[in-house]
Chains A and B, each alone.
Chain A
Amino acid sequence: GQNIDQPTEMTATEGAIVQINCTYQTSGFNGLFWYQQHAGEAPTFLSYNVLDGLEEKGRFSSFLSRSKGYSYLLLKELQMKDSASYLCAVKDSNYQLIWGAGTKLIIKP
């Protein structure tokens, strides 16, 4: 079966750095996405990786290793507004999007 694993919940301090990991086992690979979802709201797109390496976008960076089936989302200079769930999703060989259950990130002052 196809599977996306991410931690259920993480806690970090305002101003710090946090890394949210995602491992996947899918039938084929056509890209990995990270979405942010605030409580009670819709997901919003953060990043896309299709080649190995690091993609940086402001305070957020996303890394991919296809050989390891692994990605992480790195959030720097954490702000209270970063408290949200972070969803990892992989597009498989049929271009179907397989979603993880999300990591709830709690930011403390």
Chain B
Amino acid sequence: DAMVIQNPRYQVTQFGKPVTLSCSQTLNHNVMYWYQQKSSQAPKLLFHYYDKDFNNEADTPDNFQSRRPNTSFCFLDIRSPGLGDAAMYLCATSREGSGANVLTFGAGSRLTVL
């Protein structure tokens, strides 16, 4: 089945210790997104890639970086996690130009910072 796969599902790190979260997709969608979601809050868009074009949200901290080495993979790097970065990180994909542009989400990576 075509899908969006995130790894790891659960990540525990120490304050300041870098973390990398990965996302892969078999949907052949041209847009990939990284969202941060804290409990009972709306998902917050961190970045998105439209094909190869990288789009950083204005309020995304510099501590967050992203890489998309090819159309199927995307990575989220948190260089120095703080306690406030503990959250669920959601990867999503969509095919722009296909009408509704529905987002397909991965299962998420839950980050705990000790």
**Chain A residues at the B interface, C-beta cutoff of 8 Å:** 4, 8, 31, 33, 35, 40-45, 48, 50, 85, 87, 91, 95-97, 99-102, 104
Contacts and interface: CB of A to CB of B under 8 A. Distances in A.
A83 B100 CA distance: 26
Contacts, number: 45
Contacts of A91: 101
B42 A50 contact: no
A33 B110 contact: no
A101 B101 CA distance: 21
Interface of B: 40-43, 45, 88, 90, 100-108, 110
B105 A43 contact: yes
Contacts of A96: 45
11 contacts: A8-B40, A42-B105, A42-B107, A43-B103, A43-B105, A45-B103, A87-B42, A99-B42, A99-B43, A101-B41, A102-B40
A55 B13 CA distance: 44
B103 A97 contact: yes
Contact of B107 (A41, A50, A95, A97): A41
A95 B42 CA distance: 17
Contacts of B100: 31, 33, 48, 50
Nearest to A46: B102
A97 B43 CA distance: 10
- 7 nearest CB pairs, A to B: A42-B105, A99-B42, A48-B100, A101-B42, A45-B102, A42-B108, A42-B107
Contacts of A85: 40
A22 to B, nearest CB: 12
Contacts of B110: 40
B46 to A, nearest CB: 13
Nearest to A8: B40
B42 to A, nearest CB: 4
Given A31-B100, A33-B102, A104 B40 contact: yes
A39 to B, nearest CB: 10
Contacts of A50: 100
Given A96-B45, A99-B42, 6 more contacts: A33-B100, A35-B103, A40-B110, A87-B43, A91-B101, A99-B43
